[in-house]
C-alpha cells in the first residue's frame, strides 16, 4: 500500500509541475525510473513509443502504462487520476481568478517565463530518448570499445526512416511508425 501511495504522489507531482504537456513529463518519469526502479530507461523508451502511437495525451498514456505495469487495472486508473488531478485543480482555481488577473503584467510575465522552461524540458526529453534509443552507454562503459557505443541497427533504421520522411513529404506519420514497428519485430531491436 505504501508503494501504491508513493506512486500516486509521484504522478501527482508530475502532473503539477510538468507544464506543457506529456513530453514535459519525461524528465519526471526518468527520475522516477532512476529513483525507484519501477521501470527501466528502456521501458521508458517503449512507453514513449506506445504512447505516441496510441490515441490520447502522452502523459496520460504513460501514467496508465506505469500504474498498470505496477498494480494492474486499478494502478493504471490511480496513476492516471493522480497525473490529471493537479491540472483539474489548477484549472478550476485559474478559471475563478482569470477575470480578475487577465491583464496583469505579473501573470503575463509568468507565462512568458514558463514558455522557455517548457521548451528546455522538451529538448532534454528528446535528447534523453535519442540517447537511450541510439546509444548503449552501459555496453560501452563495460567494454571501452567505441563501436559498442552505438546501436547500429537503430541508427540505420532512424536514418532510413528520416530519409523516407524527407523524400516523401506527404507521407503520414502512422506509416513511419508502422514501418518502424515491423522492423523492430523482424530485426529484434
Contacts of 15 (CB under 8 A, 6+ apart): 25, 59, 82, 83, 84, 85, 86, 87
Q: Give percent above pLDDT 90 in the chain.
A: 24
Q: What are phi and psi of 150, to 5 degrees?
A: -100, 140
Give the tens place of pLDDT for each residue, 71-114.
999 999 999 999 999 989 988 888 887 777 777 888 788 888 88
Domains in the chain: boundaries: 2-134, 145-189
Residue 21 confidence (pLDDT): 67
Contacts of 128 (CB under 8 A, 6+ apart): 26, 27, 30
Residue 82 confidence (pLDDT): 95
Tell which residue, 88, 117, 112, 87, has the closest CA to residue 24.
117
Give the tens place of pLDDT for each residue, 44-69.
888 887 777 777 777 888 888 889 98
Name the CA dihedral angle for 170, 126, 136, 34, rounded to a multiple of 10 degrees. -140
Q: What are phi and psi of 135, to 5 degrees?
A: -120, 150
- The answer to whether residue 124 scores a pLDDT higher than 80 is yes
Mean pLDDT throughout 105-131?
Answer: 85
- The answer to whether residue 19 scores a pLDDT higher than 80 is no
Amino acid at each position: 500500500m505504501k508503494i501504491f501511495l508513493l506512486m500516486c504522489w509521484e504522478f501527482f507531482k508530475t502532473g503539477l509541475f510538468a507544464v506543457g504537456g506529456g513530453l514535459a513529463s519525461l524528465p519526471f518519469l526518468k527520475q522516477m525510473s532512476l529513483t525507484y526502479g519501477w521501470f527501466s530507461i528502456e521501458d521508458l523508451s517503449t512507453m514513449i513509443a506506445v504512447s505516441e502511437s496510441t490515441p490520447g495525451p502522452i502523459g496520460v498514456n504513460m501514467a496508465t502504462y506505469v500504474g498498470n505495469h505496477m498494480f494492474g487495472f486499478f494502478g493504471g486508473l490511480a496513476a492516471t487520476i493522480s497525473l490529471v488531478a493537479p491540472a483539474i485543480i489548477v484549472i478550476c482555481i485559474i478559471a475563478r481568478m482569470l477575470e480578475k488577473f487577465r491583464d496583469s503584467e505579473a501573470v503575463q510575465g509568468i507565462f512568458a517565463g514558463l514558455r522557455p522552461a517548457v521548451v528546455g524540458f522538451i529538448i532534454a526529453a528528446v535528447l534523453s530518448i535519442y540517447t537511450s534509443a541510439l546509444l548503449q552507454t552501459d555496453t560501452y562503459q563495460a567494454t571501452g570499445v567505441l563501436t559498442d557505443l552505438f546501436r547500429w541497427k537503430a541508427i540505420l533504421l532512424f536514418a532510413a526512416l528520416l530519409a523516407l520522411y524527407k523524400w516523401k513529404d506527404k507521407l503520414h506519420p502512422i506509416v513511419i511508425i508502422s514501418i518502424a514497428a515491423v522492423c523492430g519485430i523482424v530485426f529484434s531491436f
